[in-house]
Amino acid sequence: MLGKNEKELLADDEYDSEGGRWFTDNPIMANEYNYQQAVVEGSEKEELDVYMWEVTYDTEQKKIIKEEIWLQFTIEEAIKWKREH
């Protein structure tokens, strides 16, 4: 995900013909990107950091047992990685 911080993750209103963008603290509502999109295309273009949402799900209990959002790359790190690869 791209965001300003863990509580301000980029989301799009897919029903807004103008391409409405907003920020959310709910990772389910935030835009999800694959690694290439987020680091190579998204971070520099959007001027946002790259965040990872890690969810551990217990299949026997059928519930989430751990959920964490953490910074994967700052904008600067993503740009540097893009230039090196």
Domain count of the fold of the chain:
1
Contacting residues for 81 by C-beta, under 8 A, at least 6 apart: 39, 40, 73
The b-or-e profile of 13-44 (16+ CB within 10 A means b, else e) is: eeeeeeeeeebbeebeebbebeeeebbbebbe
Q: Determine if the pTM surpasses 0.75.
A: yes
Domain encompassing residue 62: 2-84
| HSE-CB of 74 using CA atoms within 13 angstroms | 2
| CB-count exposure of residue 78 (10 Å: 0-12, 13-18, 19+) | buried
Tens-digit pLDDT string for the chain (85 aa): 999 999 999 998 766 556 678 899 999 999 999 888 888 788 888 899 999 999 999 999 999 999 999 999 999 998 888 888 7
